[in-house]
Amino acid sequence: MLDSATLYYASAAMMAVMTLLNYLTWRTNNKTPGTLLYIFYPLVMFASVMSFALHGHINNLASVAIANTLLFSASIIHVLAICQFLNAKCVGFKTFVSITVALAITMIYLATDSAELRSRILVSDLQHIVESLFLLALFIRNGRKSYPNGSIVYILILSIILAVFTGRTLMMGDITTANLLSADWFSFTLFINGVIAPMFYATGMALLCNERREQNLNQLTEKAHKDLEIRGLFLSTISHEIRTPLNGILGSAQLIMNQSSDPRDKPYCEAIINSAESLNLLVDKVLDYASLDQRDEALYEEDVEFKTWLNNLCLLLSPLAEQKHLKFELIYDLPEQACYYCDQQKLRQVIINLVGNAIKFTDQGAVKIHVKLLNEGQLDHLVRVSVIDSGPGIEDEEIAYLTEPYVQSSAGKEKGGTGLGLAITSRLLEKLGSKLNIESELKKGSTFSFDISLAIGELSLVEQRHQSKDYVTGLDVLLVEDLDLNQKIAIEFMADDEHKIKLAKDGNSAIELMQKHHFDVVLLDMNLPDLTGQEVLKKLKNIDHLNQRTPVLAFTASLSPDEIKEYLSLGIKDIVGKPIKQQKLRQALSDSQTNQSASIAVELRDTLYDETAAATLISSFSEDEVSSIYNEFVLSARNKLIRCQQLVDDDKEQCIKLIHRQASTALQLGFNRYGTELKRIERKLLDNKPLKELLTEALILWQESLQAYLKHARRELS
């Protein structure tokens, strides 16, 4: 073994290093209890070692008293620091201090007699044993579960110290001052206690602090998740609470506008309706933004035939651009057969948000989607998707803040909106591992782009549905429909089959479009705000247009035998009944390009509420949007029917329009029996037949339908 003098110096050096390490640990964790006090433990031990070294030269009572007092004080500091760190009640700490003080006094007393050297060493060993046992119990009881790594280090070194000093106590024979420093057991215990133990203690405290910091981070993360859940629940609850009175405001304002004969009331009602709709949009966007914080789901990736997917997306968006007379274009600079493995739903929402914004803020010119390949790897492609518009542009200082929630550009404030669209887009791109880049020049336009790494998919796994021989794809279709709900569902269904759609909301707009453009097929609503479908067809016979031989499909819920006979006599090729069914629409569009005869049958279950109707809507709308559609209809249906009772004698034309819209929406939402009854009332009004008590009976039928719907809703919630 090393000589005792060398071990003293080594022990002193290790105490100095432990002091430095403890100081650095405290600097990083200065708010952690016990870390500051722990710095003093090696300092006091260092002073004790130096005092024992000095005692070897002086050898008087004062030097041994100081050395032992420092040694026993260091033991108390050590235990107190660990107690503070573990936040333990330290049952027995006072007892430990009492034993330590008693042993210290005993040690000083025995130091007066040089013959009691063995007794003094036994007292010192007993102190080390008591300290080790106390700390072992503390870590096993309080530290092992919370701080497993740090506790292992402490338990290991404390067990070694306990074994060494217990062994020395049991096996130590007679000792004299002459043979004390040369004995191997003395050198060994000095090596363990003065050199090895400080390294373990410094390492153990550092590990304890790291685990403490990790626990704090986990607690903060858990709290953040709980806060997000609470916020999401609050937003979800409050949104429904807001929507209920909001729908009441919308319905009441519409009733007043339709009912009032004073023209001064109209602008006020329109202002109320616009404000309520803006608030409804804000609620939806806030929920979307909050749901991104709440959800932490994995990406739902699947193989996508990219060009076909983009073309379908453009078919869905192009009618919006057409309505504002904007040129809408897809520039595709990727391999023709590119197939990627990606989360198409999130990517779809990002592109729809960016294109929707571009169309909203661009009043003239063009909106383009440019997709190009930046880097071609063996397993993935780096693709840049850019949405380019010729809008008003954005100020440079505004660009940096546009992706923050509720922040709008100057143009955004003029056009209105929630200020959440780009924030939602930015969050979605983060989930996709990308980032939104914005470039803009005032009065020239803006470019919103993002670079995304897309894994190459297996083209053989892609469903080749568009090569099906069962139906036609890629037709130029004119959709003439005034009801927003039916517009969106029809456009979604037709975009699935790559049909290119132009949209007209009334008969006169349809006639203008048919004079300017040639279509493969016209889907014509038979009851429009300005003209009936029959009147549109009669006008077309008397004017020049580009669609003399274009097949026309009636798009209607009015399917009585007399009406069907009238439609066919006007040259209508086929009838697409409402509510809209994708298979029927697809078949009718395919048959329109052949000599296939009309197939009029419409499958409509005779039921108060058709539970399958919501599935059609969910394919085109989000769950919140579907909920909002049903809420608006349910809350306003009774008032609209009562309004019809008031109008039936004074303004029959307005009554017919109101009933027609109600019937169409009722059938689309699955209120089959009620919608069919409204169509029967509409037919009687058109034929000038007496209604008798039909409107009152319709009110009773609506109550029954509402009960059936609410019963289904409660069952779904449970």
Q: Which residues contact 593 (CB under 8 A, 6 or more apart)?
A: 472, 475, 520, 521, 551
| Pairwise CA distance, residues 82 & 686, whole Å | 91
Please give the helix or strand (H or E) that residue 551 lies within, else none. none
Q: To which residue do tokens 């339908």 refer? A: 705
Model pLDDT, residue 601:
47
266 vs 332, more confident: 332
Model pLDDT, residue 4:
65
| Pairwise CA distance, residues 223 & 479, whole Å | 51
- Residues 475, 521 contacting (CB under 8 angstroms): yes
Per-chain mean pLDDT for the chain: 79
Residue 82 three-state SS: helix
Model pLDDT, residue 357:
86
Maximum mean pLDDT: which of 81-95, 277-291, 436-450, 481-495: 436-450
For 690, phi then psi, to 5°, come to -65, 140
Residue 577 three-state SS: strand
Residue 86 pLDDT > 70: yes
Average pLDDT over residues 82-97: 82
Residue 420 three-state SS: coil
- DSSP letter at 574 equals E
| Pairwise CA distance, residues 319 & 323, whole Å | 6
Lookup: tokens for 314:
């453009």
Summarize pLDDT for 658-716 with one digit per residue, the tens. Answer: 888 888 888 888 888 888 888 888 888 877 887 767 888 888 888 888 888 888 877 87
Model pLDDT, residue 450:
93
Average pLDDT over residues 196-221: 87
Maximum mean pLDDT: which of 182-186, 288-292, 445-449, 586-590: 445-449
Average pLDDT over residues 652-657: 82
Model pLDDT, residue 461:
39
Model pLDDT, residue 447:
92
Residue 427 pLDDT > 50: yes
289 vs 586, more confident: 586
**Residue 299: CA atoms inside 13 Å, Cβ hemisphere, count?**
16
477 band by pLDDT with thresholds 50, 70 and 90: very high
Q: What amino acid is encoded at 165 in this protein?
A: F
Q: How far apart are the first and last CA of the chain?
A: 78
**Percent of the chain's residues with pLDDT above 70:** 80
Q: Which residues contact 683 (CB under 8 A, 6 or more apart)?
A: 558, 560, 563
290 band by pLDDT with thresholds 50, 70 and 90: low
Q: Which residues pair with 452 in a beta bridge?
A: 383
Summarize pLDDT for 176-192 with one digit per residue, the tens. Answer: 554 555 566 667 777 88
Residue 64 pLDDT > 80: no
Q: What amino acid is encoded at 208 in this protein?
A: L
371 band by pLDDT with thresholds 50, 70 and 90: very high
- Residues 474, 516 contacting (CB under 8 angstroms): no
Model pLDDT, residue 511:
92
Average pLDDT over residues 245-266: 72
Model pLDDT, residue 463:
40
Nearest CA-CA partner of 501 in 528, 519, 527, 524: 519
Model pLDDT, residue 243:
61
320 band by pLDDT with thresholds 50, 70 and 90: confident
- DSSP letter at 383 equals E
Summarize pLDDT for 445-476 with one digit per residue, the tens. Answer: 899 999 999 888 755 334 444 444 467 888 88
- Residues 370, 331 contacting (CB under 8 angstroms): yes
| Pairwise CA distance, residues 348 & 425, whole Å | 11
Model pLDDT, residue 293:
55
Torsion of CA 468, 472, 476, 481, to 10 degrees: -110
Angle at 689 between CA 688 and CA 692, to 5 degrees: 130
C-alpha torsion sign, points 18, 20, 24, 26: positive
Nearest CA-CA partner of 612 in 637, 582, 575: 582
Model pLDDT, residue 681:
87
Nearest CA-CA partner of 85 in 132, 147, 18, 7: 147
Q: Which residues pair with 102 in a beta bridge?
A: none
Lookup: tokens for 684:
């009687």
Lookup: tokens for 564:
């069907």
Model pLDDT, residue 462:
41
Maximum mean pLDDT: which of 217-221, 541-545, 618-622: 541-545
Model pLDDT, residue 448:
92
Average pLDDT over residues 404-425: 62
Query: Phi/psi zone of residue 498: left (φ > 0), alpha (ψ -120 to 50 degrees), beta?
Result: left
Model pLDDT, residue 183:
60
Maximum mean pLDDT: which of 27-31, 507-511, 627-631: 507-511
Please give the helix or strand (H or E) that residue 404 lies within, else none. none
Lookup: tokens for 238:
């409050």
Residue 55 pLDDT > 60: no
Q: To which residue do tokens 């530290």 refer? A: 143
698 vs 295, more confident: 698
Nearest CA-CA partner of 637 in 659, 615, 616: 659
Summarize pLDDT for 118-177 with one digit per residue, the tens. Answer: 787 888 888 889 989 998 988 888 888 888 888 899 999 999 988 988 887 777 766 655
Lookup: tokens for 320:
């919006």
For 361, phi then psi, to 5°, come to -95, -5
Summarize pLDDT for 335-345 with one digit per residue, the tens. Answer: 877 888 888 87
Question: What DSSP letter does each residue of 532-600 carry, written as one string?
Answer: BHHHHHHHHHTS--S-TT--EEEEES---HHHHHHHHHTT--EEEESS--HHHHHHHHHHTTSSPPP--
Average pLDDT over residues 623-644: 80
278 band by pLDDT with thresholds 50, 70 and 90: low
292 band by pLDDT with thresholds 50, 70 and 90: low
Q: To which residue do tokens 């209890």 refer? A: 33
| Pairwise CA distance, residues 322 & 316, whole Å | 11
Model pLDDT, residue 19:
87
Maximum mean pLDDT: which of 191-205, 395-409, 483-497, 680-694: 191-205
Residue 445 three-state SS: strand
Lookup: tokens for 593:
């390009």
- Residues 250, 276 contacting (CB under 8 angstroms): yes
Cα 187 → chain centroid: 64
| Pairwise CA distance, residues 363 & 459, whole Å | 40
Residue 406 pLDDT > 60: no
Query: Where is average pLDDT lowest: 150-164, 351-365, 558-572, 591-605?
Result: 591-605
